[in-house]
Structure 1
Amino acid sequence: CYHMDEMAMLSDLLLPEHASLETHTCHLFPGNEGSATNIDPGFAASNRGVVVRKGMKPLYNTLDGNDQLIEIFDRMGLIDLWNETANQNGCIGYAALTGFGQVPPAAVQFEDPAFKLQPGTKYTAEEMFDRCLKSAFGADKGLDHLDKVKMMPYNGFTGANVYPSHRNQKIRFTVYLEAQKRSGDFLIPKLREVQASGFDLEGAIKYSIDELRRRYTAVPYWPEHRQIDSAPSDFELYAFNYRQPFYMFRLANMDQDPIRRDYSKRYMPDDNSVLVNTATAQERGIGEGDMIVVESPFGTTKGKAHLTETVRPDSVGIGGARGRKTSWMGKELLEDTCMNDIMSGDFGYIDPIHGGVIDTVRVKIYKA
C-alpha cells in the first residue's frame, strides 16, 4: 500500500501490510542453498538456522501480514484451528512442507509442550515466534535473544541429506520425487470433486485434470502438452527475453529510475529495442531503428529494431524487465518494449505445478 502498483490497482480489497523492513520476524534459513558451490564440508550443517529480521518501526497504521491472517481467523471463530495447526507443524520456516519427506523438518517445531499455543488465545505473530523459539531452543532463547545473536543453528543437514553434497562425498540427486507424488495424491481427488460438483474447473483453467494428474508424478518425463509447439504457422519466429545490466530484474523498480532510463536511452543500443537478425530483417524490409511490432497469439509490443548477428535468424530478443502497466509508476513506462505483453498465463506456457514460465513464445514481426 506504499504505492499503487498493478496488483493494488486490480484488487477489490487492500489490507495495509507492513513493508519488509517494518516487520519483526524470523526465518529458517535452509542451509543447503549454498552447499553446491561451497567447499566447506560443514557448511550446510553449520549454516542452517533461524535468522532474525528486525528493521524500523512502522510509519503508518499497518499490520504484519501474519497478524492480518490471525485477525481474520479469529473473526471467523477459527483461532483454535490456527493454533493447533501451528502446534503440529511449527511456525518458523516452511511449515506447509512438514510431513512431506523433509529431513530434517522444514519448520522449527514446538518441541517443549509447555510453550505450545493454548486454545482460546489469540497470539500475535511475534508471540508465536517467541514461543516456538523457546520451545525449540530453551526458555531463555526467545525472540529477544535471537535479536542479539542474529542466528541460532537448527538441525543442520549432514552427509547424504545434502543435495548435492561436498565434492569428497558421493553426490546424490533426488530422482524419485516422492513429495510431488504425495501432493498429487492429496490434491487431484479434490479437484475431481470440484469438477463433478457442476463447476467446470477444467474450462476455467483451460487444462485437463488427467494431465494434471500425470504431472504430479514421482518420475520425471518430457511433457508433450506445450502450447509453444502448437502455435499457428504464421508465427514463425521465437521471441526470448534476456537480462540487461540496468534492468536485470525489478529489484528496487529499476525501470522507474530516471537516471537508468536516461543513460540507457543515450548509450545502450538495445534500449527499448527488439534484437533482429540482419538476414531476417532484410527479408522483411526492416532497417536499423525502424519501429516494429512483435505480435504473438496473445498480444503485441513495439520497439526499435536493432539489427545484430547475436541472435539466430529464427529468433528475436527483447531485453530487460521493463514495462510497468500503471501510470502511477510514470507514464513513460507504459510505452516500454515489454516481453510480458506477448506472453501467456495459461497452463502450457506456465507449468501447472510450480508456475515456471516458458519464457519463449512464437511471434511474427512487421513494421509499425
Structure 2
Amino acid sequence: MSNRQPEQNSLKPGKWIKSTCKMCLHSCNTRVHITDEGIINKIEGEPSSPSNNGRLCPKGNAAIMRHYDPTRFKTPLRRTNPNKGPGVDPKWEPISWDEAYDIVGRELKRTRDEDPRKLLPAINNFQKLFLWAWPAAFGSANFFSSVGNFCGGGYHPMNGFVHSAFAAANDVNYCNYWINNGGGDGFSSHLHTAAQANHVAKARIERNMRVVTVEPRLSIGGAKANEWVPIRPATDRQFALGLCHVLVYENLYDAKFLKKDTNAPYLVGPDGYFVRNENGDIYVWDAKDNCAKLWNDPTLKDFALEGVYEVNGVTCRPAFQRFKDILAECTPEQMSKVTTVPAETIRRIAREFAKAAQIGSFIEIEDRILPLRPAAYNYYRGAQGHKYSAMANQSFKLVNFLVGAIDTPGGHVGATLDDQMVEIRGGCGAITPGESGMMHANPHQLHPEVPFSFPPNEVHLMGYFPIGVDPGHLAQETLMNPEKYNLDYRPDTMLLCHSNPMWNISGSRKEWYKIMSGMRFIAAIDILPNESNEWADIILPAHDLLESWNMTMIEPPHHEGMCLRQPATPPIYDTRAEEEIFYELSKRIGILDIWNNILNYVNGFHQKPELLLEADRTYTDREIAERKGKLWNGKDLDWYIEHGHAVTPRRPDKWYRPWDGMRLHFYIEDILKARDDLKQKMEAADVPIRHQWSWGDYQPLPTPVPDPVLLEPAEYDMFAITFKDIQINFGESTSNPWIKDITYNDPVHTSVLINTATAASKGLQTGDVVRIQSPYGSIVARLATSQGVHPETVCVSNALTRVAIQHSGVRVGGGSFNDLLPANLENTDACSGQPETVAKVKLIKLTELPPELLAANSVYAGEKGRMH
C-alpha cells in the first residue's frame, strides 16, 4: 500500500493574496487565489485572522460570481429611453467617463446652485461609511434609504445611551446562558456571521453554553438552540418586561451593581426628571441615615433603590422604584396574554437566567478584577423593529442591567463601529464623562445631530428626530403630502450609490414610483442592475470588491483592528473606484475643499495631523486606505499587504467596563430632555403637526403599551414577518448563481411558511397560492406548512418577493414585502425613527397564479396557472 499523502489538486498554479470580504456589511478576512492567467478561482477565510479563523460563509465564497457576472455595468451608460418605470428598458448607450462626468457634474451643479436640498441621496456602502458624508459637502441632509433605521432605528441610539457604542453582542468568551431574541447572531445573520458562528459553536461544545431562542419562526438559530420559544410577533418587549418582573419581584437582581454603577438610585420627580439642587447635582436617598443626599456625598452609607420620599417639597422615588412600579403591571400572566408565551416559561427562563448570571462572582483579566456575569440577552431587528422601538431596546437592555451583565465578561457588551486608533476606544464609541457621575450619553452613532428646522430642510424630517436614525421611509409621507408637512422645496435630483431604495424602503411601491418619476435627473454609482438604478439617467460603474482598495473596521463583535481590501485583479471592465467618482464630481461642482475637510473628520485623520488630506487635491482609494491603516497602528500599506489585517481579540480594557468609574443610564432622562426641547422648538415655530406628534414615544423607562400593529382591525388575523439566512445576510445576493442555488432549492425560501394547524383551520395546504393582504398593500405567494411557525404568523423569506428589474438572474416574485408596511408617522417611533417591520395581514386563497408571475418566475415553471 502506498504511503503517499493526499494532495490538493483542485487549484491551478497561481498565488494567494490577503484581502477582506464585502459581500455583506461586515469584514471577514479572506485570502484570494489568482491563477497564472489572472483568473480568480478560489476565495477562502484567512487562517491568520482570530476573528473568522479561516471561516467564510457562502456569500463570501460567492464573491467570484459577482466579480464575473456578465450583467455587470461595464462602462458608463446613458439612458436613451425617456420613459421610466419598473421593468422599463432604459436602452442604455455606452459613453466615455469624461462625458459621464460632464453630464453628472453639470446636473448636480445646477441642482446645488438652485437649492442643495433638492438632492435626494441614497449612499449605502457600509464599508466606506465616509462616502455617506458626501451629501453634507453638497449641502443636503436628505437621506433616501432605510439602511440604518429599518433594522436598527432604536437599536443604535440605545446602544449609544447604554454602551456608547453602535452595536452590541453577547460576550462569547464567557457567556454560559445566551438568549437570542429576534436576531440570528452566532447562527444565521447580523454581525460577522461566519466569525460569530465559529465562536458560538466553540462555546457550546467547550462550555456547554445554553442557547434560548425567542422568535416566531424556528430559524437556523432556533433549530440549533437548546430551546425555541415561539412568540407572537411584535410582543418581544412585553416578554422582556415579564422577565424583568420576575427578576425584580423575586429579588433576583444585582443590587450592588445598580447602586454603584448605574443611575438607578437617582431620585426622580413627578415630571420624570431627576431631582436636583440649585447647582444641578442630583439627589439620592441614603437608606441608612434616612435622608436625601447628593449622589457624591462622601457621607453616603447606602443608596436606596426603593421607596417614596420628599425632597425640598417634591415627592420623588428612585429610578429603580419607578421601574418596579411599571413592572407591577407586567406579571408573567399578564405578559403571557400578549405574547402567547406561557407564564411558567417566562418565570422559568428568568430564574434560569438569574442563576446562570452568578451574581456576586468575579474574574481576573489582565490584572483587573471584574464582575463575571455569564448570562446575556441578545436581540436584533425582529425583536426591536417596531413602533415603540426605543422602549423595546431599553427593555432588553434592562434584563441585562438587572443581573449586572452590562459590559462584563460573559454579559451583553457594546460593539463599536470603528475605533479608528488602536490606543483608544474612539470614533463614535468614545467614552466621556457626563453630569452627576454618569457616562455621557452618545445616541448619535452614524452622524451628528441634524438641527431642527421649520419648514423642514429634510424630506424625511430628520430634524424632528433629535436622538433618532434617519427615517428615510418618511420621504413617501412628506413628498406625497408636501402641504401638510410645509415643504417649501421639491427634490428633483437623485444620487444613488450602492443603494436600492425601491427595494429596501417600506411603503407603497406605486407611491415610490411616483416619486421616482418626478425626478429631473438621476445618477447611479453601482455594480449590477437593480430595482432603483433602472430609473437612472446615467450609470457610473464602480469597481467590485475584488478590484478595489479599502481599509475598514466595521462593528466586529469580539475583535478589533483594520482589515485591508486590495485588488485581486485589475478592473476587468471600464469601472472606477467610488473615491475617484466622488472626487471628480466634487471638483466639477466646486466643493473639493469641503469634501476633503469632511473626510478628515469622519475618517479621524484630524487626530494625526500628518495624515490630513490637503484641501485642493484628490486622493485614490489606495491612498485613503493607507491613511486609515496608519491611523490605526502606524503601519504603512506594504505591512497590510503582507499581513492582510491588524485584527486582534478585543482589548479587554476597551471591551469590559470601559466606562469604569462612571454610572450607566438605567433611567434615560436624556430622552425626556430631547422630547421637551423638540416640543419647545415646534411650539416656537408653530409647526402644524406638533399636536399629532407621538410625544408618548419618548419614555425614560419602557412600558407594556401595545404597538399599533397589534391593534389593526380584527379581519387582519395574522402577522407577516420577513427573515433571512446567512446566504442572504444584508442583501447583495439574489442575482448570484451560487447563492440562488442554495436559496431556491430550499422550500423555506420558495414559499411563505405558515403553521400546519393554522393552514388546516383556514382550508389551506402546501402548494396553495394566496394573496397576503395588509391594510397598506399586498403580495402573492405559494404556501408551505410547517410546525416550526407560530400559529399566528406568516413567514416571508427576504429572497422570495421581488419586483421587475433589469437583472435577468433575479427571479421575479409576488411583490415587495415592504408593500405590506406603512410609511407613515403613526407607525414610526417618534423617539428613534424606527418603522414598524411587521404587518398584520389576512390570507386570500387564489385559484390562479397571476400571469406575470407564472411567466416570469421559474419557480413556477411548468405550471398551467390553474391550481388544484
Question: Which TM-score bucket, shorter chain as reference?
Answer: 0.5 to 0.7
Give the TM-score taking structure 2 as reference length. Answer: 0.31
Matches of 1:255 and 1:330, distance apart in 2: 11
Q: Is the 8 A contact 1:225 1:348 kept in 2?
A: no
Letter in 2 for 1:290: D
Match of 1:100 in 2: none
Q: Is the 8 A contact 1:248 1:320 kept in 2?
A: no
Among residues 248, 272, 293, which one is paired with 2:751 in the alignment?
272
Among residues 142, 149, 155, which one is paired with 2:636 in the alignment?
142
Match of 1:99 in 2: none
Matches of 2:740 and 2:628, distance apart in 1: 45
Matches of 2:572 and 2:704, distance apart in 1: 49
Task: State the shift of 1:3 in Å.
Answer: 2.7
Matches of 1:178 and 1:22, distance apart in 2: 48
Task: State the shift of 1:362 in Å.
Answer: 0.5
Matches of 1:173 and 1:156, distance apart in 2: 21
Match of 1:77 in 2: 590
Match of 2:839 in 1: 361
SS at match of 1:127: helix
Give the TM-score taking structure 1 as reference length. Answer: 0.65
SS at match of 1:6: coil
Task: State the shift of 1:24 in Å.
Answer: 0.6
Q: Does 1:22 align with 2:500?
A: no
Instruction: State the Cα deviation string for residues 31-85 of structure 1 (Å, max 9, x = none).
Output: 5x12xxxxxxxxxxxx422221112322223222233222233333222222333
Matches within 5 A, 1:70-149: 70-87=583-600, 89=601, 91=603, 107=604, 109-131=605-627, 133-134=629-630, 137-138=633-634, 141-149=635-643
Q: Is the 8 A contact 2:766 2:783 kept in 1?
A: yes
Structure 2 CA distance for partners of 1:289 and 1:86, relative to 1, 3 Å:
closer
Matches within 5 A, 1:146-185: 146-152=640-646, 157-159=651-653, 161-162=654-655, 175=666
Once structures 1 and 2 are overlaid, which stretch shifts more, 220-229 or 321-330?
220-229
Letter in 1 for 2:578: G
Structure 2 CA distance for partners of 1:7 and 1:269, relative to 1, 3 Å:
closer
Match of 2:378 in 1: none
Q: Is the 8 A contact 2:534 2:805 kept in 1?
A: no
Matches of 1:260 and 1:316, distance apart in 2: 22
CA RMSD of aligned residues (A): 4.6
Q: Is the 8 A contact 2:693 2:830 kept in 1?
A: no
SS at match of 2:587: helix
Matches of 1:149 and 1:351, distance apart in 2: 45
Structure number with bigger Rg: 2
Q: Is the 8 A contact 1:235 1:364 kept in 2?
A: yes
Match of 2:778 in 1: 300
Query: Paired residues, what number?
Result: 315
Matches within 5 A, 1:1-368: 1-28=526-553, 30=555, 33-34=557-558, 47-55=559-567, 56-87=569-600, 89=601, 91=603, 107=604, 109-131=605-627, 133-134=629-630, 137-138=633-634, 141-152=635-646, 157-159=651-653, 161-162=654-655, 175=666, 210-211=693-694, 215=698, 219=700, 221-222=702-703, 226-243=707-724, 250=731, 252-253=733-734, 259-260=741-742, 263-264=745-746, 268=747, 271-278=750-757, 280-330=758-808, 333-336=811-814, 339-347=817-825, 349=827, 358-368=836-846
Matches of 1:83 and 1:247, distance apart in 2: 35
Task: State the shift of 1:287 in Å.
Answer: 4.2
SS at match of 1:86: helix
Structure 2 CA distance for partners of 1:297 and 1:158, relative to 1, 3 Å:
same
Matches of 1:318 and 1:248, distance apart in 2: 15
- % identity of equivalent residues: 19
Q: Is the 8 A contact 2:550 2:625 kept in 1?
A: yes
Structure 2 CA distance for partners of 1:327 and 1:151, relative to 1, 3 Å:
closer
Matches of 1:283 and 1:124, distance apart in 2: 62
SS at match of 2:617: coil
RCO higher in structure (CA 8 A, sep ≥6): 2
Matches of 1:303 and 1:246, distance apart in 2: 21
Q: Is the 8 A contact 1:29 1:51 kept in 2?
A: no
Structure 2 CA distance for partners of 1:179 and 1:51, relative to 1, 3 Å:
farther
Letter in 1 for 2:754: L
Structure 2 CA distance for partners of 1:120 and 1:281, relative to 1, 3 Å:
closer
Matches of 2:799 and 2:530, distance apart in 1: 15
Instruction: State the Cα deviation string for residues 259-313 of structure 1 (Å, max 9, x = none).
Output: 447634xxx38732442442x4444433443322211112222233434444344
Matches of 1:181 and 1:148, distance apart in 2: 51
Structure 2 CA distance for partners of 1:362 and 1:130, relative to 1, 3 Å:
same
Instruction: State the Cα deviation string for residues 183-231 of structure 1 (Å, max 9, x = none).
Output: x69x969x969x9599x8x6xxxx989548965x7x4535969441342
Matches of 2:703 and 2:775, distance apart in 1: 24
Q: Is the 8 A contact 1:254 1:260 kept in 2?
A: no
Letter in 1 for 2:553: L
Matches of 2:714 and 2:754, distance apart in 1: 21
Q: Is the 8 A contact 1:115 1:131 kept in 2?
A: yes
Matches of 2:647 and 2:764, distance apart in 1: 60
Matches of 1:274 and 1:251, distance apart in 2: 23
Task: State the shift of 1:27 in Å.
Answer: 1.2
Q: Is the 8 A contact 1:275 1:316 kept in 2?
A: yes
Matches of 1:335 and 1:11, distance apart in 2: 23
Q: Is the 8 A contact 1:255 1:333 kept in 2?
A: no
Structure 2 CA distance for partners of 1:146 and 1:283, relative to 1, 3 Å:
closer
Letter in 1 for 2:720: A
SS at match of 1:334: coil
Task: State the shift of 1:4 in Å.
Answer: 1.6
Structure 2 CA distance for partners of 1:148 and 1:255, relative to 1, 3 Å:
closer
Structure 2 CA distance for partners of 1:75 and 1:285, relative to 1, 3 Å:
same
Letter in 2 for 1:119: A
SS at match of 2:734: helix
Matches of 2:591 and 2:613, distance apart in 1: 14
